[in-house]
Amino acid sequence: MPTAVSAPVSAAVSTPLLEVENLTTAFRRDGAWREVVHGVSFTVGARETVALVGESGSGKSVSALAVMRLHPRQASRVGGRVLFEGRDLLALPEPAMRGLRGDAIAMVFQEPMTSLNPVLTIGFQIAEGLMLHRGLGREAAEAEAVRLLDRVRIPAARSRLHDHPHRFSGGMRQRVVIAMALACRPKLLIADEPTTALDVTVQAQILDLLKELQDQEGMAVLFITHDMGVVAEIADRTVVMRHGRAVEAGDTAEIFRGAHHPYTRALLSSVPKLGSMAGETRPLRFPIVSATTGAVDVPPGLPDTVTPGQRPVLEVSGLTTRFDIRGGLLGKVRGCVHAVEGVSFTLGAGETLALVGESGCGKSTTGRSVLRLIEPAAGSVLLDGEDVLTLGPAALRERRKRMQMIFQDPFASLDPRMSVGAAIAEPILLNRLGTRAEARARTADLLQRVGLTPDMASRFPHEFSGGQRQRICIARALAVRPRLIVADESVSALDVSVKAQVVNLMLELQAEFGLAFLFISHDMAVVERVSHRVAVMYLGEIVEMGPRAAVFGDPQHPYTRRLLAAVPVPDPARRGARHKVSADEIRNPIRALDYVPPVRQYREVSPGHVVQAWGEEWEPKGTSAAA
Amino acid sequence: MGAYLLRRLLVAVPSLLGISLILFTILALAPGDPFGDMASNPNIPPEVRLALRAKFGLDDPVLFRYWHWLVAMVRGDWGFSFQSRTDVARLILDRVPTTLFVVGSSQVLALLIAVPVGIAAAVRPYSLLDKLANTLAFAGFSLPTFFTGILFILVFSINLHWLPFVYDADIQATGLAWYWEHVRQAIMPVCVLGFFQAASYTRYVRSAVLDVARLDYVTTARAKGLAEGTVTRRHIARNGLIPVVTLVALQMPAVFGGAIVTEQIFRVPGIGALLINAMLANDTPVVMAVTFVFACLVVLFNLIADLLYGWLDPRISFG
């Protein structure tokens, strides 16, 4: 489908649909009022898409909820003016405001898994707004709901009307949420990070859908996001927020071309851009721009950390992990989730191998199986030539010193009741790698090494920000001087600028200690930046693997191509150049007990770059899913 | 679902057998002789006592006696009370209506208080109402029933002479007066038990509803323009009360079991009082039967709670 071109921006901004003037929001915490949004102003014209961008804590979502007046009344205070079609929303009586919500102004939230009521059918949840605002009867409203579900391309909409939300995948749920928001044909749609929780290919589908529906309905969209790639993809104008203030606003293309505020420049420079590594063979650090002065710190090139010809630190072959599905009268095994199926790869010292793929592809299970945090069903995992899978409990504990893990959520991976010093020293003491005094000295050293100060050892995790906590987790992993670190989405939950710093730190540590990283991520742009080699996983198997430059520069497997095509490029000039992504759902790897996995053929495209032979299901179909 | 039910019932059989064996063994090994008072009575020759012991098989090996008990139980014979000289089944069935009436009413009262108060407190956390409800709930379950019970008796029976303080299962009046007397004497035990339960239920309802009130789909519902009352009823309460329903289902065996302390204070002739008296008199068949009935009820209501959960929450499937 050719992308419909949005209405010309210049015509749209003449009379703004929404004018936010000097918006302030304060919350009461422990009896004291704390202002988190300090006088933000912006406008959204009819049919226009405006992006509110910022990192966590910038006040972007708070501002959006304030526009809708959805903050709890007792614990929040909103000031300024919010004019919608000339009426001040903040001065409206509550019933009049309710009349606008869901009717003229609708909202889509971030987390599709939680923004639908689990005990009500999706049909009812869509019909609810129609019955309220349009006075439709149950039947008429449900008929309209079917039409809406068709429009957001839920397959077999009529038969799924009475399904509960848990029967839908994340992407499908977000479509339902969008259908719900569009029910009363709103003039303004506020979308709060609507694609953040989704896989890239699903994100691309949802963005396409939003754009298309916007053109058809002629509605304005206020799009809240932290993702500059998404901004470049969809926004006419962009408002950059930081610490509760709008630091810069303007035409999206102009902001990307030449931002004025140092913070905007810092933000843009720390965004990993897919394709920016063409011509580079080794990983590269992110340039760090000071958010206050705008001074650019161009990173020095990293030394080559890989020595060819050495025996790899990690040799994985035929790794297979399955989870039983039980059922029936006696709870017999009915089938298996083939989470990891015949995965083989090697990883050398000082090398980073990225495992990429979308949720459910088995990349995390692979990482955990390598460390034997999950017991694999078959295969071998050689760590320095010794098979980890056959080790007894004592020997395994001993070998775990050489392999460590860094998890995704830095908030959940530190014990809140343990000081960070104790957390870092614990692995040293447990493994009897030193006395208490030595552990203390090493903790101080490690804290310094990851960019913190030794005096922070006595503090507790809640006193640190997300990025700092992830640094602590890295220090803890380094405490036992490992050879291999499995980093499972370790930077995915971090804000872009923090993400860039943590990635830089990991690269420096690799150069210093010759660490081998198994870098598990869904973020193609970060993977391009950090890895030497890349393995693309799909349905538990590696479908393509090779040097990073080869896989990104010359992707062979249709899935790799689809994955790369779906990544939003933070460059408004290249908007629409992206390939259309089909609306296929990722299939699930649940198989019957008698399933015999097919023997896969791999072909070598160039030295070290192998690709799995693919079957007919990957051949392009005549009718693309995008109508 | 059918297969799930069948599986659960099959699992219940060995667990009930295990429970009964443990109960029976403990009771058999416990010191004390149901005919002990005969030994001190000079009018009864020792032969009679020994004959009685032999008749009831008290001198047989424990496992042998257990087997007898089990076979009889399966046939529907619950045993014979040493003390009351009647069938245990008769004894229990006599007590059940009173217990159900008093303890059941108190549960209903507790829910009638706890659900609305808990929801109201949760949708406006830290409001005056919430603080009041929290304080009362804290006081409610801090005060033991033997204290509030006696306090009630002191105030309403002794000082005000409004209500009787000894429960009479054998009221002589007829017609409406009979009902009125029953209600009147039940008011105090029902209130004492009900308030106590309401206190803990309120806190439970509040926290369950509070968990739900924070969720995204509640904000989504508000963003649709629904009125606050509709949001609370349709989107918050329905989800929030799912765990409460199962909690109440799990409490049901306690309803049948009666409230031992409260029944003692108000002299309510319920199951709880029966159990206490039987224990004091070494009346093992009664103790065994009552405790075993509790065990069955616990297993049964656990199953009911699980089924209810699955019925209320469409995400749960029985596989």
Task: Please enumerate in sequence order all residues whose Cβ is within 8 A of that of B172, keeping only pairs 6 or more positions apart, or say none.
Answer: none
Asked whether residue A291 carries a pLDDT value surpassing 90, the answer given is: no
Does A386 share its domain with A437?
A: yes
Does A96 share its domain with A158?
A: no
**Cα R_g (chain A), whole angstroms:** 26
Residue B136 domain flag: yes
In this prediction, residue A10 carries a pLDDT of 45
Rounded Cα distance, B73 and B292, in Å: 10
SS (HEC) of B37-82: HHHCCCCCCHHHHHHHHHHCCCCCCHHHHHHHHHHHHHHCCCCECC
Q: Which of A173-177, A324-328, A566-570 has the lowest mean pLDDT?
A: A324-328
Q: Comparing A271 with A220, which gets the higher pLDDT? A: A220
Chain B hits for A330, CB-CB cut-off 8 Å, are 7
Beta-carbon separation of A109 and B226 below 8 A: no
Q: Say which of A74, A118, A132 has its CB closest to residue B224.
A: A132
Rounded Cα distance, B198 and B141, in Å: 9
Query: CA-CA distances (angstroms) from residue B35 to A349, A537, B29, B91, B274?
Result: 83, 77, 16, 19, 18
Chain A hits for B240, CB-CB cut-off 8 Å, are none
The tokens for A367 are 């990482």
| CATH number of the domain enclosing B122 | 1.10.3720.10
Chain B hits for A62, CB-CB cut-off 8 Å, are none
Beta bridge partners of A352: A517
Residue A227 domain flag: yes
In this prediction, residue B258 carries a pLDDT of 64
Residue A9 domain flag: no
* pLDDT tens track for A494-533: 888 888 888 989 999 999 899 999 999 988 888 998 999 9
Asked whether residue A626 carries a pLDDT value surpassing 60, the answer given is: no
Beta-carbon separation of B226 and A177 below 8 A: no
Asked whether residue A60 carries a pLDDT value surpassing 70, the answer given is: yes
Q: Is A520 helix (H, G, I), strand (E, B) or coil?
A: strand
Does B221 share its domain with B285?
A: yes
Rounded Cα distance, A516 and A402, in Å: 10
Q: Is A546 helix (H, G, I), strand (E, B) or coil?
A: strand
Count of C-beta atoms within a 10 Å radius of residue B218: 22
CA distance B234 to chain A (A): 9
- Between vectors from CA A427 to CA A426 and to CA A432, what angle results, nearest 5°? 100
pLDDT-derived band at A7, boundaries 50, 70, 90: very low
Q: Which of B1, B127, B216, B313 is the mutation pick for testing A, counting most A CBs within 10 A? A: B216
> How large is the average pLDDT for residues A277-301?
76
Closest Cα to residue A605, out of A550, A527, A524? A550
* pLDDT tens track for A596-611: 888 888 888 888 899 9
* pLDDT tens track for A183-207: 999 999 999 988 887 788 888 888 8
Does A601 share its domain with A456?
A: yes
Q: Comparing B272 with A89, which gets the higher pLDDT? A: A89
Residue A271 domain flag: no
Beta-carbon separation of B3 and A328 below 8 A: yes
Chain A hits for B216, CB-CB cut-off 8 Å, are 109-111, 114-115
In this prediction, residue A8 carries a pLDDT of 46
> How large is the average pLDDT for residues A566-578?
75
In this prediction, residue A576 carries a pLDDT of 62
Asked whether residue A627 carries a pLDDT value surpassing 70, the answer given is: no
Does B224 share its domain with B306?
A: yes
Does A424 share its domain with A364?
A: yes
Asked whether residue A330 carries a pLDDT value surpassing 70, the answer given is: no
Does B40 share its domain with B189?
A: no
Q: Comparing B172 with A264, which gets the higher pLDDT? A: A264
In this prediction, residue B204 carries a pLDDT of 92
Chain A hits for B217, CB-CB cut-off 8 Å, are 114-118
Count of C-beta atoms within a 10 Å radius of residue B30: 11
Residue B104 domain flag: yes
Rounded Cα distance, B262 and B154, in Å: 15
% of chain A at pLDDT higher than 70: 93
Q: Which of A29, A76, A119, A138 is the mutation pick for testing B, counting most B CBs within 10 A? A: A119
Does the ipTM surpass 0.90? no
Chain B hits for A118, CB-CB cut-off 8 Å, are 217, 239, 313-315
> How large is the average pLDDT for residues A232-240?
92
The tokens for B270 are 């319920």
Chain A hits for B312, CB-CB cut-off 8 Å, are 119
Helices (H), A418-531: 420-430, 436-449, 466-478, 496-513, 524-530
In this prediction, residue A584 carries a pLDDT of 60
* pLDDT tens track for A12-33: 445 789 999 999 999 988 788 9
Rounded Cα distance, A425 and A457, in Å: 10
Rounded Cα distance, A303 and A603, in Å: 31
Task: Please enumerate in sequence order all residues whose Cβ is within 8 A of that of A111, keeping only pairs 6 or more positions apart, or say none.
Answer: A197, B216
In this prediction, residue A337 carries a pLDDT of 85
**Angle between helical axes of B284-312 and B2-29 (0-180°, round to 10):** 160
Rounded Cα distance, B247 and B172, in Å: 39
Query: CA-CA distances (angstroms) from residue A533 to A348, A552, B28?
Result: 10, 10, 72
Does A162 share its domain with A256?
A: no
B49 burial class (0-12, 13-18, 19+ CB within 10 angstroms)?
middle
Task: Please enumerate in sequence order all residues whose Cβ is within 8 A of that of A466, keeping only pairs 6 or more positions apart, or say none.
Answer: A56, A410, A411, A493, A494, A495, A498
Task: Please enumerate in sequence order all residues whose Cβ is within 8 A of that of B277, keeping only pairs 6 or more positions apart, or say none.
Answer: B83, B283
- Between vectors from CA A550 to CA A544 and to CA A551, what angle results, nearest 5°? 35
Last residue of a domain, one of A166, A183, A200: A183
Most confident of A218-227, A284-293, B85-94, B120-129: A218-227
Beta-carbon separation of A330 and B221 below 8 A: no
The answer to whether the beta carbons of residues A108 and A190 sit under 8 Å apart is yes
Question: Dihedral (C-alpha) A274, A280, A282, A287: value to the nearest 10 degrees?
Answer: -60
Does B14 share its domain with B120?
A: no
Strands A245-251 and A237-242: antiparallel
The answer to whether the beta carbons of residues B74 and B88 sit under 8 Å apart is no
Q: Give the range of the structural domain holding residue B53, as residue numbers without chain letter.
A: 2-75
* pLDDT tens track for A363-393: 999 999 999 999 999 999 999 999 999 999 9
Rounded Cα distance, A189 and A223, in Å: 8
In this prediction, residue A336 carries a pLDDT of 84
Does A249 share its domain with A382?
A: no
Q: Which of A48-62, A550-564, B171-185 has the lowest mean pLDDT?
A: B171-185
In this prediction, residue B246 carries a pLDDT of 84
CA distance B9 to chain A (A): 11
Asked whether residue A2 carries a pLDDT value surpassing 50, the answer given is: no
Residue A402 domain flag: yes
Does B216 share its domain with B288?
A: yes
The tokens for A614 are 């693919």
Backbone angles phi, psi at B211, to 5 degrees: -60, -40
Distance of CA B314 to the CA centre of its chain: 29
Q: Comparing B4 with B129, which gets the higher pLDDT? A: B129
In this prediction, residue A328 carries a pLDDT of 65
Asked whether residue A44 carries a pLDDT value surpassing 90, the answer given is: yes
Closest residue on chain A to B319 (Cα): A327
Asked whether residue A458 carries a pLDDT value surpassing 50, the answer given is: yes
Closest Cα to residue A612, out of A559, A576, A534, A573? A559
* pLDDT tens track for A406-443: 988 888 889 989 999 999 999 999 888 889 999 999 99
Does B208 share its domain with B130?
A: yes
Rounded Cα distance, A602 and A585, in Å: 25
Is the backbone of residue A349 left (phi > 0), alpha (psi -120 to 50) or beta?
A: beta
**What single DSSP character describes residue B217?**
H
Last residue of a domain, one of A142, A158, A183: A183
Does A38 share its domain with A85?
A: yes
In this prediction, residue A423 carries a pLDDT of 93
Instruction: Report the amino acid identity of residue A374.
Output: I
* pLDDT tens track for B285-312: 888 888 888 888 888 888 888 888 888 8
Q: Which of B210, B220, B236, B244 is the mutation pick for testing A, counting most A CBs within 10 A? A: B220
Residue B80 domain flag: no
Q: What is the pLDDT of chain A when averaged over all its residues? A: 86
Q: Comparing A249 with A620, which gets the higher pLDDT? A: A249
> How large is the average pLDDT for residues B156-179?
80
Does B174 share its domain with B105?
A: yes
Interface residue B308 vs chain A (CB under 8 A): no
Does B40 share its domain with B138?
A: no
Q: Give the range of the structural domain holding residue A346, as residue numbers without chain letter.
A: 314-618
Residue A293 domain flag: no
The answer to whether the beta carbons of residues B8 and B306 sit under 8 Å apart is yes
* pLDDT tens track for A101-144: 999 999 998 888 788 999 999 999 999 999 999 989 999 999 99
> How large is the average pLDDT for residues A94-105?
92
In this prediction, residue A620 carries a pLDDT of 65
Interface residue B315 vs chain A (CB under 8 A): yes
Beta-carbon separation of A118 and B315 below 8 A: yes
Q: How many domains, chain A?
A: 3
Which element (helix H / strand E) includes B91? helix B88-123
Q: Is A35 helix (H, G, I), strand (E, B) or coil?
A: strand
B residues 205-224 lying closer than 8 A (beta carbon) to A: 215-217, 219-224
Beta-carbon separation of A119 and B223 below 8 A: no
Asked whether residue B276 carries a pLDDT value surpassing 80, the answer given is: yes
pLDDT-derived band at A586, boundaries 50, 70, 90: low
Closest residue on chain A to B228 (Cα): A98
Q: Which of A84, A100, A110, A115 is the mutation pick for testing B, counting most B CBs within 10 A? A: A115
Does B273 share its domain with B149?
A: yes
Q: Say which of B10, B223, B225 has its CB closest to residue A99.
A: B225
Residue A165 domain flag: yes
Does B215 share its domain with B69?
A: no
Distance of CA A2 to the CA centre of its chain: 27
- Residues A353, A359, A362, A367: is their CA dihedral positive or negative? positive
In this prediction, residue A155 carries a pLDDT of 81
Closest Cα to residue A432, out of A404, A389, A401, A467? A401
Rounded Cα distance, A15 and A118, in Å: 40
% of chain A at pLDDT higher than 90: 42
Does B243 share its domain with B113?
A: yes
Rounded Cα distance, A120 and A162, in Å: 9
Q: How many domains, chain B?
A: 2
**Angle between helical axes of B271-280 and B88-123 (0-180°, round to 10):** 130
Beta-carbon separation of A107 and B217 below 8 A: no
Residue B51 domain flag: yes
Q: Say which of B10, B219, B315 has its CB closest to residue A166.
A: B315
Closest residue on chain A to B313 (Cα): A119
Query: CA-CA distances (angstroms) from residue B31 to A109, B23, B24, B34, B280?
Result: 67, 14, 13, 10, 12
Q: Comparing B210 with A495, which gets the higher pLDDT? A: B210
Asked whether residue A216 carries a pLDDT value surpassing 80, the answer given is: yes
SS3 content of chain A, % helix, strand, coil (to 5): 35, 25, 40
| CATH number of the domain enclosing A405 | 3.40.50.300
Interface residue B314 vs chain A (CB under 8 A): yes
Does B188 share its domain with B252?
A: yes
The tokens for B126 are 């830290």
Does A58 share its domain with A205?
A: yes
Residue A7 domain flag: no
Residue A304 domain flag: no
